[in-house]
């Protein structure tokens, strides 16, 4: 798929000028690789591309990213990144990281709590979720620009339900000398290190104040403020003139106490209007700290089977109280706030660069692991929800991404879609170094890990599925994904999501990798005729015990797959061992999948379809709009392009003992030499089960639409088949039972 447009943060890396997605109607672009049906390729009518239609569309800019008034710079989309562009300094904050100081107990919110998704900080929001939504002090973006002899600041929050709930303080050190300013922020914040603050700006949305510690500076100077609730933005016009100097900035957020004109203090326990989580630690009243660079908030795992490594990691394990840390990118923030020293987190803003309009993207990472944000097309409310269609609401959602060191915009890039397990986050598998090495670096591929709207990923149904494809669309827009080289995989619930994603949209994927994932619906297995499946399970896995059900079902269908059963492996052992080379080699051995295969099998299941979100599970390759009969639950189409001159390939099964990556038994099926028929007919064969109607795109087959077409159907119901081609569109009845006819398209 071609780039649709480039974010400014990436333009500097690539020099790309943008482009347009493939034209699905004229046959231009990657989906135009169908066989020659006797028509000029430019005249072919080809089916819509696989997956949701919005994969081929530009997403509208989400309100928090929109510019009004003097603001011009595009968002950076990379958490912890900063840049000078369009006369503005822009910092992209981490989101859903607003947990404050480490107080001895991690916070418990709807998106935190488990060993693989706990927070570093321990603050609790007030229990009035309609106002605070577990996310009211979460900084999304900071930007500043010069405005004559004043400064304009724009602060964007991830959640803003009320205009005057959040308190934001900006501390400025104008001379780099801690002895000339104050360390005490005031406003109930106290000291957060030897910062030497010369100016302090505090806003609560509907108002703001400027106080100065420098000699001769006026106290309590008024600041012009405006609040945009639709965009979650606060704009400040501040009577400060830095000239061409560089001023160091700090930023903290909390909750506003209007009676005290201060940040709300942290109580032991939260109530309806006051935050809690102090645990006798007297933490600062700060939920989020700005200007943390992407490399200042690492994440990773402390699990290791080697005894020496356990000892080496013991101090970190005790500090973070978890076998995994930083998954919400707040670990170092939490420790810094617990020490009451945020001096490491600052932005040295060069106002000469702003004055000259210089562009500088040197603090936007170009490769390696990053966390990014995208703007959703759909509105699920704001904040973090206890009960609803999603856990992480809001128009801006996070994802994890690995960018290989040799990444280039010159050619489309392969991508591995990594779906995280239940009770985890988008950073789960990105913390496994060899996984990134094998599926990212060695393949020169991107590895994308969506959050899927929460730790449970809504089991990759409904809004969870939507998030996966919205994130994929966003990454294609920025990085130019090669959709001809797309793999999907994940552990546990992510393995379940893998089967659902590749089964619902098989034409998108070259292969699927399910790790300790349990069993799957037969209807999903049906759709993997052209998607090889790799299954790894552990004999000692008591959470998702290994079964051979999927293996046997794939054997019955004659589908390519391999099941690896590992003795002694439990639910997380593969994650701990971190050895994936055989998996990469297996999936890469198949090469690109056919764009329009001669034999298509697809079972449509409307249970989790959401047309209002652009999600439908009713098409694959050259079949679309498969409608299930009114008295059926699912509808299955088995379609054969008889003019291709092919038959079902011969197969070979195997069972082997292997020791790479560890001792296991591998059982599977491979296709051997394809079977070619000496005599081919210009025909179409359809076997329909529980189907009311289906559309067949003939220009994507080998059928010559200028000639008479033989159509053979077998159907459990009276059905309608719509034939579409550049030569015309025609409906053909497929009565219950078997029938055959010859037609000529009008």
- 196 within domain boundaries: yes
Instruction: Name which residue leads in pLDDT, 667 or 34.
Output: 667
Residue 168: domain span: 64-363
How many angstroms from the chain centroid is the CA of residue 114? 20
**Per-residue confidence (pLDDT) for residue 529, from 0 to 100:** 97
pLDDT tens-digit series, residues 200-247: 999 999 999 999 986 555 456 679 999 999 999 999 999 999 999 999
Q: How confident is the model at residue 325 (pLDDT cuts 50, 70, 90)?
A: low
Q: What mean pLDDT comes out for the span 9-14?
A: 39
DSSP SS3 for 314: helix
Cis upstream peptide for 581 (omega within 30°): no
pLDDT tens-digit series, residues 594-623: 999 999 999 999 999 999 999 999 999 999
Tell me the C-alpha distance between 676 and 648, whole Å: 9
**Per-residue confidence (pLDDT) for residue 264, from 0 to 100:** 99
**Per-residue confidence (pLDDT) for residue 34, from 0 to 100:** 35
For the cut 50, the answer to whether the pLDDT of residue 6 exceeds it is no
The partner residues of 393 in beta bridges, in order of sequence, read: none
For the cut 60, the answer to whether the pLDDT of residue 39 exceeds it is no
Percentage of the residues of the chain whose pLDDT score is greater than 70: 89
For the cut 80, the answer to whether the pLDDT of residue 42 exceeds it is no
User: Sheet of 360-363: strands edge to edge?
Assistant: 224-228, 233-238, 150-157, 139-147, 88-92, 82-85, 360-363
**Per-residue confidence (pLDDT) for residue 502, from 0 to 100:** 97
- 347 within domain boundaries: yes
**Per-residue confidence (pLDDT) for residue 519, from 0 to 100:** 74
Tell me the C-alpha distance between 385 and 109, whole Å: 9
- 212 within domain boundaries: yes
pLDDT tens-digit series, residues 262-285: 999 999 999 999 999 999 999 999
- 171 within domain boundaries: yes
**Per-residue confidence (pLDDT) for residue 23, from 0 to 100:** 32
Which CATH number do you get for residue 324?
A: 2.60.40
**Per-residue confidence (pLDDT) for residue 545, from 0 to 100:** 80
The partner residues of 655 in beta bridges, in order of sequence, read: 667
Least confident of 107-111, 545-549, 563-567, 576-580: 107-111
For the cut 60, the answer to whether the pLDDT of residue 38 exceeds it is no
- Tokens (6 digits) for 581: 């080379």
DSSP SS3 for 488: strand
Q: How confident is the model at residue 58 (pLDDT cuts 50, 70, 90)?
A: confident
- 3 within domain boundaries: no
**Per-residue confidence (pLDDT) for residue 688, from 0 to 100:** 99
Tell me the C-alpha distance between 727 and 722, whole Å: 13
CA dihedral 694, 699, 703, 704 (to 10 degrees): 130
Q: How confident is the model at residue 327 (pLDDT cuts 50, 70, 90)?
A: confident
For the cut 60, the answer to whether the pLDDT of residue 36 exceeds it is no
pLDDT tens-digit series, residues 123-165: 999 999 999 999 999 999 999 999 999 999 999 999 999 999 9
**Per-residue confidence (pLDDT) for residue 215, from 0 to 100:** 59
- 170 within domain boundaries: yes
pLDDT tens-digit series, residues 94-113: 999 999 999 987 667 877 76
Instruction: Name which residue leads in pLDDT, 248 or 313.
Output: 248
Structural domain count of the chain: 1
Closest CA to 573 of 432, 728, 742: 432
**Per-residue confidence (pLDDT) for residue 677, from 0 to 100:** 73
**Per-residue confidence (pLDDT) for residue 114, from 0 to 100:** 62
- 100 within domain boundaries: yes
DSSP SS3 for 320: helix
Tell me the C-alpha distance between 682 and 711, whole Å: 9
For the cut 80, the answer to whether the pLDDT of residue 576 exceeds it is yes
pLDDT tens-digit series, residues 636-693: 999 999 999 888 899 999 999 999 999 999 999 999 977 777 778 999 999 999 999 9
Q: What mean pLDDT comes out for the span 382-391?
A: 90
Least confident of 187-191, 454-458, 664-668: 454-458
DSSP SS3 for 364: coil
**H helices within 480-595, ranges in order?**
493-504, 522-526, 549-557, 573-577, 581-588
- 69 within domain boundaries: yes
Closest CA to 236 of 250, 223, 252: 223
Tell me the C-alpha distance between 232 and 234, whole Å: 7
For the cut 60, the answer to whether the pLDDT of residue 3 exceeds it is no
- CA-to-CA dists, residue 11 to 2, 274, 341, angstroms: 15, 44, 36
Q: What is the mean pLDDT of the chain?
A: 89
Supply the pTM of this predicted model.
Answer: 0.92
Tell me the C-alpha distance between 704 and 583, whole Å: 40
Helix (H) / strand (E) containing 436: helix 433-436
For the cut 80, the answer to whether the pLDDT of residue 633 exceeds it is yes
**Per-residue confidence (pLDDT) for residue 28, from 0 to 100:** 27
**Per-residue confidence (pLDDT) for residue 16, from 0 to 100:** 41
What φ, ψ does residue 640 adopt, rounded to 5°? -125, 125
For the cut 90, the answer to whether the pLDDT of residue 588 exceeds it is yes
What φ, ψ does residue 351 adopt, rounded to 5°? -75, -15
Tell me the C-alpha distance between 517 and 587, whole Å: 17
pLDDT tens-digit series, residues 434-452: 999 999 999 999 999 999 9
For the cut 50, the answer to whether the pLDDT of residue 313 exceeds it is no
How many angstroms from the chain centroid is the CA of residue 233? 24
């Amino acid at each position: 798929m071609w780039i649709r447009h480039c974010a400014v943060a990436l333009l500097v890396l690539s020099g790309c000028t943008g482009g347009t997605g493939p034209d699905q109607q004229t046959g231009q672009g990657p989906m135009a690789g169908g066989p020659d049906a006797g028509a000029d390729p430019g005249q072919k009518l080809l089916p819509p591309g696989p997956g949701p239609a919005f994969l081929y569309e530009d997403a509208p800019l989400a309100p928090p990213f929109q510019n009004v008034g003097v603001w011009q710079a595009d968002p950076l989309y990379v958490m912890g990144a900063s840049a000078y562009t369009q006369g503005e300094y822009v910092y992209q904050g981490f989101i859903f990281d607003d947990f404050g100081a480490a107080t001895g107990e991690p916070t418990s919110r709807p998106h935190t709590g488990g060993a693989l998704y706990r927070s570093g900080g321990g603050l609790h929001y007030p229990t009035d979720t309609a106002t605070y939504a577990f996310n009211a002090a979460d900084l999304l973006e900071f930007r500043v620009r010069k405005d004559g002899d004043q400064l304009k600041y724009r602060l964007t929050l991830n959640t803003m339900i009320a205009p005057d709930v959040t308190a934001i303080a900006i501390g400025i050190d104008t001379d780099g000398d801690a002895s000339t300013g104050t360390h005490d922020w005031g406003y109930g914040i106290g000291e957060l290190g030897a910062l030497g603050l010369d100016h302090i700006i505090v806003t609560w949305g509907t108002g703001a104040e400027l106080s100065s510690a420098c000699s001769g500076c006026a106290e309590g100077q008024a600041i012009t403020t405006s609040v945009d609730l639709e965009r979650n933005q606060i704009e400040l016009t501040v009577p400060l003139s830095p000239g061409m100097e560089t001023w160091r900035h700090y930023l903290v957020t909390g909750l506003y106490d209007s009676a005290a004109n201060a940040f709300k203090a942290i109580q032991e326990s939260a109530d309806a209007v006051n935050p809690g989580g102090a645990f006798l630690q007297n933490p600062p009243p700060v939920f989020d700290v700005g200007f943390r660079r992407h490399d200042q908030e690492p994440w990773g795992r402390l699990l290791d089977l080697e005894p020496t490594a356990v000892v080496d990691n013991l101090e970190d394990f005790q500090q973070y109280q978890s076998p995994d840390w930083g998954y919400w990118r707040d670990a170092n923030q939490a420790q810094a706030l617990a020490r009451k020293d945020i001096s490491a987190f600052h932005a040295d803003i060069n106002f000469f660069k702003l004055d000259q309009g210089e562009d500088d993207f040197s603090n936007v990472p170009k490769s390696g692991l990053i966390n990014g944000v995208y703007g959703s097309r759909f509105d699920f409310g704001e904040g973090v929800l206890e009960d609803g269609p999603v856990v992480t609401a809001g128009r801006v959602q996070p994802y994890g991404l690995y960018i290989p060191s040799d990444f280039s915009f010159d050619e489309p890039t392969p991508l591995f879609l990594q779906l995280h397990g239940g009770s985890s986050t988008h950073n789960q598998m990105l913390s496994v170094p060899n996984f990134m090495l094998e599926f990212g670096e060695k393949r020169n591929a991107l590895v994308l890990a969506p959050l899927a709207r929460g730790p449970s990923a809504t089991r990759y149904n409904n809004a969870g599925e939507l998030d996966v494809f919205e994130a994929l669309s966003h990454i294609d827009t920025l990085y130019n994904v090669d959709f001809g080289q797309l793999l999907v995989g994940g552990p546990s619930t992510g393995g379940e999501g893998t089967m659902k994603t590749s089964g619902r949209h098989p034409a998108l994927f070259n292969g699927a990798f399910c790790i300790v994932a349990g069993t799957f619906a037969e209807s999903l297995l049906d759709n993997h005729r052209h998607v090889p499946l790799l299954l790894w399970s552990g004999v000692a896995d008591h959470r998702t015990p290994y079964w051979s059900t999927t293996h046997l079902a794939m054997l019955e269908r004659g589908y390519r797959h391999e099941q690896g059963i590992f003795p002694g492996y439990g639910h997380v052992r593969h994650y701990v061992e971190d050895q994936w080379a055989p998996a990469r080699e297996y999936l890469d051995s198949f090469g690109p999948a056919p764009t329009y295969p001669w034999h298509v099998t697809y079972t449509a299941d409307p249970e989790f379809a959401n047309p209002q979100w652009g999600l439908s599970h009713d098409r694959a390759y050259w079949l679309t709009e498969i409608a299930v009969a009114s008295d059926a639950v699912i509808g299955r189409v088995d379609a054969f392009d008889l003019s291709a001159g092919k038959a079902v390939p011969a197969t070979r099964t195997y069972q082997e003992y292997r020791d790479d990556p560890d001792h296991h038994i591998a059982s599977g099926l491979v296709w051997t030499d394809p079977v070619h028929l000496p005599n081919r007919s210009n025909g179409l064969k359809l076997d329909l089960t529980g189907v009311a109607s289906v559309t067949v795109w003939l220009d994507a087959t080998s059928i010559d639409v200028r000639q008479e077409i033989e159509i053979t159907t077998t159907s459990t119901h009276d059905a309608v088949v719509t034939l579409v081609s550049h030569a015309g569109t025609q409906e053909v009845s497929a009565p219950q039972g078997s029938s055959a006819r010859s037609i000529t398209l009008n």
